[in-house]
């Protein structure tokens, strides 16, 4: 009998992907960049627990990334050439204008989000516009206002605020509970202000603790 190999047998998952307008492909709900000449083209992705490899139609490797958790981006900035940046920025500008049409707060949140997240913000802008097509603009605008006040720049935050009724959160004292569930890091001073707000809310005044 031959000795067992020093490492485990290779185990991976693979599938075809189309490179999106922001120059990334989706793999297991995370996003990985490819060279700009593959924009809009079909590529082949192969991934395991540690790495993601992208191949062209001739199965030649064109990109290699460390595996990332869902919702995250891995961008090799060698893939971001001048002509590609121009195209992405043009798309982001148009989407930012669409966000401003939702409302002033939505426009401010969108601008701050793009400054914070860079190229990956294009997908977030697309999601924000999609939310505005399904919900009243005033709800989306109010959710953006609250999210911006806490420097929360994920679409999931906006979606959850809308679902919970962003316009009622400050009035009913529900915002602290939402923050407890959401992965936003704050200073002790911020938590102190939230506790002060909660204990001074009219529904709690006069209560016996």
User: Which candidate, 70, 69, 63, places its Cα nearest to that of 23?
Assistant: 63
Strands 42-47 and 13-18: antiparallel
Element (H, E) at 16: strand 13-18
User: Which candidate, 84, 64, 82, 83, places its Cα nearest to that of 74?
Assistant: 64
Q: How many CB atoms lie within 10 A of CB 119?
A: 22
Domain range 13-79, CATH architecture = Beta Barrel (2.40)
pLDDT at residue 117 is higher than 50? yes
List, for residues 21-68, the tens digit of each pLDDT value: 778 899 998 889 999 889 889 999 999 999 999 999 999 999 999 999
pLDDT for 73 equals 81
Overall pTM surpassing 0.75 (yes/no):
no
pLDDT at residue 167 is higher than 60? no
Domain ranges in the chain are 13-79, 82-170
Contacts of 10 (CB under 8 A, 6+ apart): 48
- Mean pLDDT over each residue of the chain, to the nearest integer: 78
According to DSSP, the residues that pair with 93 across neighbouring strands are none
List, for residues 141-156, the tens digit of each pLDDT value: 999 999 999 999 999 9
């Amino acid at each position: 009998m031959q000795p067992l190999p020093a490492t485990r047998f290779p185990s991976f998952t693979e599938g075809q992907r189309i490179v999106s307008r922001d120059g990334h492909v989706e793999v297991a709900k995370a996003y990985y960049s490819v060279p700009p000449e593959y924009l809009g083209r079909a590529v082949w992705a192969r991934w395991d627990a540690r790495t993601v490899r992208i191949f062209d139609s001739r199965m030649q490797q064109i990109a290699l990334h460390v595996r990332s958790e869902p919702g995250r981006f891995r961008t090799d900035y060698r893939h971001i050439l001048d002509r590609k940046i121009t195209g992405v920025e043009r798309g982001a500008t148009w989407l930012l204008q669409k966000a401003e049409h939702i409302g002033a707060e939505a426009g401010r949140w969108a601008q701050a989000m793009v400054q914070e997240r860079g190229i990956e913000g294009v997908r977030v802008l697309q999601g924000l516009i999609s939310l505005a097509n399904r919900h009243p603009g005033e709800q989306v605008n109010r959710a953006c206002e609250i999210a911006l006040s806490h420097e929360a720049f994920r679409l999931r935050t906006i979606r959850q605020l809308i679902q919970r009724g962003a316009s009622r959160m400050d009035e009913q004292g529900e915002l602290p509970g939402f923050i407890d569930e959401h992965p936003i890091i704050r200073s002790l001073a911020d938590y102190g202000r939230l506790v002060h707000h909660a204990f001074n809310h009219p529904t709690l005044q006069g209560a016996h603790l």
